[in-house]
Structure 1
Amino acid sequence: MPNQITLADLTKGSASITNPALAGTGAPTGDVVPSAADAAAVAALTPDQQIAKLPAVDQTAVNQLAGQIDFTRDGIESTYGKDAQRATSTFADEILSDTRSKDTGEAGELLNTMLVTIDEAELGGFRKVPILGQVAVSIDKLRRRYQKVDAQIDEIITRLEAAQAKLVADISMYNTMYQQNAQQYRELKITVLAGKKALADFRATQLPALEAEADRSGDPMQAQVLKDFKSKLDRFEKRLDDLDRISVVTLQTAPQIKIIQNADQTIVDKIDTTISTTIPVWKSQMVIALGLSNQRKALDLQNKADDVTNKLLQRNAAALHKGAVDAEKANQRSVVEIDTLEKINSELIATLKETVQIQKEGKANREAAQAKMRQIEADLKQALLDNAQQM
């Protein structure tokens, strides 16, 4: 329990204090807020009840930070939680910078180039001639064409492996980002709960004493000091609401990171399948085609090899096309759908409007109460004077 504050303390700012409650807390040990299904129930709890649901280490952090909050300090209503807020902003800038500099389409383009190269090479033992149609290609020409395309494919594979290595590094980086985002979310929720607890405790224990002191003094200036201080508390409460909203944005960032990470993993898997399965199968089929061309029934066997190769290439081309298109669609898809943004925006606007209306109603009720209290005081004083004159 902090020392009792007087009206005189409100006219001077206290010295700034450090808040080490969150220092060295490490990775999150549990959820600071409940699941979505319990959100309504949690919102109805008092700060102390919400704190009681936290892990022991987080309860200690909240209580320590709450005990250090000094409402007489100048500017506390605008600077509280600023470090956590600044860290969240910096983290968001890092994610944005990384996604802007990422060329997620490079691997997909390489896969497409490989497909086009194989398709246009006409390695089935025939070449297309106008008017005559398909004409058998000599074994020497087929071999030279295969060697040329094989070199092109090897070059594309080298570039695919480099792109795959970068994607694997990015996936690891996103794991670190996800953990950092979770830690920032936890720190924001601890900061908000500590502020709510300190504010609730102050209003319940010390604010009534300040109000009583102002009433006893009968000094309008003292009453104004108290009124200004209450406004400061209201602004501090608004600051807590802003920090709470930032924590929600931080929570929304988590699935966004995972979406990007999963898209990268999809492309990594597709590259691995192409290098380890598709290309070896294609090469083996071409070796078979070349060998069959040397046999007695070269033409018939070559036709069969063409059929096998064409079917194989068609199946692989279809599989590669679908995989490349699906991966590219996943990469190009917006991290947050516009419908989601519109809904969040509508909810925020509605919340702000309702908050303003509630504040106006609260202010009006307080003003009405003030007028009534003044009338009560005047009536009572008049009654006492009348009573004293009649005695």
Structure 2
Amino acid sequence: MSDKTLEPAPERVAELANRIDLNDPGSITRFGQEAQGRAASAADAMLGSARSDAVGEAGDSLSKLLSALRGFDVTKLDEKPGLIARLFSRAGSETQAILQRYEGVRGQVEAIGDKLDTHRTRLMEDVERLERLYGATLEWFHSLADHVAAGEAVLERTDREAIPAAERAAEDPSDPLAPQRLRDLRAAREDLDRRVHDLRLTRQVAMQALPSIRLIQENDKALAGRIYSVLANTVPLWRTQLAQALALQRMREAGQAVRAATDLTNELLTANAEGLRRANVEVRTEIERGVVDLESVQKANAALVATIEDSLRIAQEGRERRVAATKALGEAEAEIRRALISARAPAPRKG
């Protein structure tokens, strides 16, 4: 508020000063009462703004909304997945569970968002009402400033003109009531001075009310702006983050499935290669055994040689036994012949 704004209007000050009659105590009492009466209206309006439930309810709703958004942590989707086998058996289950939770949280967010929008509307209405109150209070302040300036002008003129003139008149002995008029004038001057002082105090109250109104108005505007920001930015950003996280989760699950399939293919290829190797070794071993089994040939050759040697040995022994048998048979035949000869020629009798 500039100094120029605080300067009273000369025409208005002159008009108010003409309403003051120091010879009429009632004019002093009534002076500025209308302007001071606005203090009660301003105080009631300020109290009404302070007691307004819109700010408290909006703050509570905003806290609930932020708690709901923080309670659903979409960053958990970025955690590393489990084993490939578990992912194959539960493909998409984590994403589905998150979507189910999101549906529940989304209902809360939408309900709280509707309340916040209502609160924002009420807050903006309060801002407009406070703007009108600020304008009325500013007019009230200027009115009080005009009254104070008018009272000060009357006091200055009284001190400069009326009282000195009354003092000179009181010194004239021909007018016995002049001293009383001087006393009444001084008393009326003191009453006006007190009245102007009261108006100064009220003006100070009006001056203090102006920044208070602005403070409340700015708080309401800030809260309304924050609500709008949450509804226009935070909630959509939360939904966008969730959509991106879910897309990444689906990509991750697809990648894991492809990786698992690739691992299975590699395992099958490795197993087939190992099986082929083992079968080839067995078959080739059997095939090569029938052709170049030297140990078997050597064993067979040794057995054949032993058989031949046994045959030769047995034949030799047979020949030796036959020779011995022939000799034995010859001796037996000779013995038989000797026996027969002995039996064919008996000895002659004598006598």
Instruction: Answer with 173-182 or 136-145: which moved more.
Output: 136-145
1:91–1:118 Cα change, 3 Å: closer
Q: Give the corresponding residue for 1:119.
A: 70
Which SS does the other structure have where 1:70 is aligned? coil
Q: Residue 51 of structure 2 aligns to which amino acid in structure 1?
A: R
Instruction: Find out whether 1:176 has 2:132 as its counterpart.
Output: yes
Residue among 198, 204, 207 paired with 1:251: 207
1:300–1:164 Cα change, 3 Å: farther
TM-superposed deviation, 1:263? 1.1
Q: 1:32–1:190: 8 Å Cα contact kept in structure 2?
A: no
Q: Give the corresponding residue for 1:97.
A: 48
Q: Give the corresponding residue for 2:168.
A: 212
1:198–1:143 Cα change, 3 Å: same
Cα RMSD (Å) of the superposition?
Answer: 2.9
Q: 1:292–1:298: 8 Å Cα contact kept in structure 2?
A: no
Instruction: Find out whether 1:190 has 2:146 as its counterpart.
Output: yes
Q: Determine the C-alpha separation between the residues in 1 that align with 2:28 and 2:255.
A: 88
Q: Determine the C-alpha separation between the residues in 2 that align with 1:174 and 1:212.
A: 55
Q: Determine the C-alpha separation between the residues in 1 that align with 2:96 and 2:32.
A: 76
Alignment of 1:48-127 (within 5 A): 58-121=9-72, 123=74, 124-125=76-77
Q: Give the corresponding residue for 1:199.
A: 155
Which SS does the other structure have where 2:23 is aligned? coil
Q: Determine the C-alpha separation between the residues in 1 that align with 2:40 and 2:252.
A: 74
Deviations 1:152-203 (A, max 9, x none): 1111111111111111111111111111111111111111111111222233
Q: 1:76–1:236: 8 Å Cα contact kept in structure 2?
A: no
Instruction: Find out whether 1:138 has 2:68 as its counterpart.
Output: no
How many residues align? The count is 244
Instruction: Find out whether 1:268 has 2:224 as its counterpart.
Output: yes
Q: Scaled by the length of structure 1, what TM-score is found?
A: 0.56
Q: Residue 209 of structure 2 aligns to which amino acid in structure 1?
A: T
1:68–1:116 Cα change, 3 Å: closer
Q: Determine the C-alpha separation between the residues in 2 that align with 1:231 and 1:166.
A: 53
Residue among 224, 238, 242 paired with 2:180: 224
Deviations 1:43-65 (A, max 9, x none): xxxxxxxxxxx5xxx11111122
Q: Scaled by the length of structure 2, what TM-score is found?
A: 0.62
Q: Give the corresponding residue for 1:32.
A: 6
Q: Determine the C-alpha separation between the residues in 2 that align with 1:98 and 1:115.
A: 26
Q: Determine the C-alpha separation between the residues in 2 that align with 1:273 and 1:299.
A: 37
Q: 1:114–1:153: 8 Å Cα contact kept in structure 2?
A: yes
Q: Return 5+ residue gaps in structure 2 as ranges.
A: 80-89, 258-351
Q: Residue 191 of structure 2 aligns to which amino acid in structure 1?
A: R
TM-superposed deviation, 1:118? 2.9
1:246–1:120 Cα change, 3 Å: same
Q: Determine the C-alpha separation between the residues in 2 that align with 1:72 and 1:138.
A: 92
Alignment of 1:35-46 (within 5 A): none
Q: Residue 197 of structure 1 aligns to which amino acid in structure 2?
A: A
Q: Return 5+ residue gaps in structure 1 as ranges.
A: 1-27, 34-53, 128-134, 302-391
TM-superposed deviation, 1:223? 2.1
Q: Give the corresponding residue for 1:290.
A: 246
Q: Give the corresponding residue for 2:107.
A: 151
TM-superposed deviation, 1:112? 1.8
Deviations 1:295-316 (A, max 9, x none): 4635869xxxxxxxxxxxxxxx
Q: Determine the C-alpha separation between the residues in 2 that align with 1:117 and 1:162.
A: 19
Instruction: Find out whether 1:279 has 2:253 as its counterpart.
Output: no
Deviations 1:72-92 (A, max 9, x none): 113333321111111123222
Higher Cα radius of gyration: 2
Q: 1:293–1:299: 8 Å Cα contact kept in structure 2?
A: no
Q: 2:28–2:191: 8 Å Cα contact kept in structure 1?
A: yes
1:72–1:167 Cα change, 3 Å: same
Which SS does the other structure have where 1:69 is aligned? coil
Instruction: Answer with 242-251 or 109-118: which moved more.
Output: 109-118
Deviations 1:5-43 (A, max 9, x none): xxxxxxxxxxxxxxxxxxxxxxx995234xxxxxxxxxx
Deviations 1:307-341 (A, max 9, x none): xxxxxxxxxxxxxxxxxxxxxxxxxxxxxxxxxxx
Q: Determine the C-alpha separation between the residues in 2 that align with 1:278 and 1:94.
A: 34
Which has more helix, going by share of residues? Answer: 2
